[in-house]
Chain A
Amino acid sequence: MLILTRKLGESIKIGDDIKITFLEIKGKQIRIGIEAPSHITVHREEIYRIIMEQNVQAARLTAMTGKELPVVLDELKILLSGSGEKKG
């Protein structure tokens, strides 16, 4: 891992078109600004882990529910259609 020291207001460049600027330090929090082209997606790292875990759980619970699943889906259908009636 490349480790650099920067002062507030200073930046680093990654490649030609990504720029990260260090804006503010408050206690243990750092605010950074990221300039990147629109094809580069920027998200907090933990969201990837959270979504991955949710996908794995969705696949696992769907497999585990097995034969009961049609019953659960029927209940869900009733739940959703019930709300439709209330709205109308």
Chain B
Amino acid sequence: MKIHTTRFGELDIEESRIITMRGGILGFEHLKRFFLYAAGEKNPFWWFQSAEDSSVAFVVIDPFLVKADYTPEICDEDERLLELEKAEDVVVMGIVTIRHDPFGISVNLRAPLVINAAKKLAKQIILDNEEYPVQYAVSAGRTRTEQAATVK
């Protein structure tokens, strides 16, 4: 299936890779079909690209890379909605807000994307845990190294 994207041009995406939103991404509820697209080799990031609006794409990241002790609790209703049966089918992704300064880049830990990788269903869930911020700095607990600081 050919999908036009603003960022990557025309992509040939197999229908089996399309992820259907059960409950949309807040602010983008009208978009129901997305797919994950690799952001380059050996990158911890993925693109969550809309299959319906060529201009809408989010950068997403495995949130556990950013916060190792992250423990998002998926409520029973969301488990039902996403038809989650096995723990290994659960993929959690954090939506990244990009800024030019890498120290300004943040991940939304309060409202992660939860994906049923087997059934290709997803939802942006809102966690009850208010300790998880909507803007969690990727650089939290990290110091500005020479290498990271000099790349501008």
Contacts and interface: CB of A to CB of B under 8 A. Distances in A.
A79 B142 contact: yes
Given A59-B57, A73-B40, A83 B141 contact: yes
B77 A80 contact: no
Nearest to A47: B126
Interface residues of B, number: 45
Given A51-B134, A56-B27, A79-B138, A38 B98 contact: no
Contact of A75 (B56, B108, B134, B151): B151
Interface in B78-110: 80, 95-100, 102-103, 105, 108, 110
Most chain B beta-carbon contacts within 10 A, residue among A65, A71, A77, A86: A77
B26 interface: yes
B71 interface: no
B99 A54 contact: no
Given A58-B95, A72-B105, A79 B148 contact: yes
A14 interface: no
A78 interface: yes
B142 A83 contact: yes
Interface in A19-76: 38-41, 43, 47-48, 50-59, 61-63, 65, 68-76
A44 to B, nearest CB: 9
A82 interface: yes
A32 to B, nearest CB: 16
Interface of A: 38-41, 43, 47-48, 50-59, 61-63, 65, 68-80, 82-83, 86
9 contacts: A41-B77, A55-B108, A65-B98, A70-B40, A72-B98, A73-B43, A78-B151, A80-B65, A80-B138
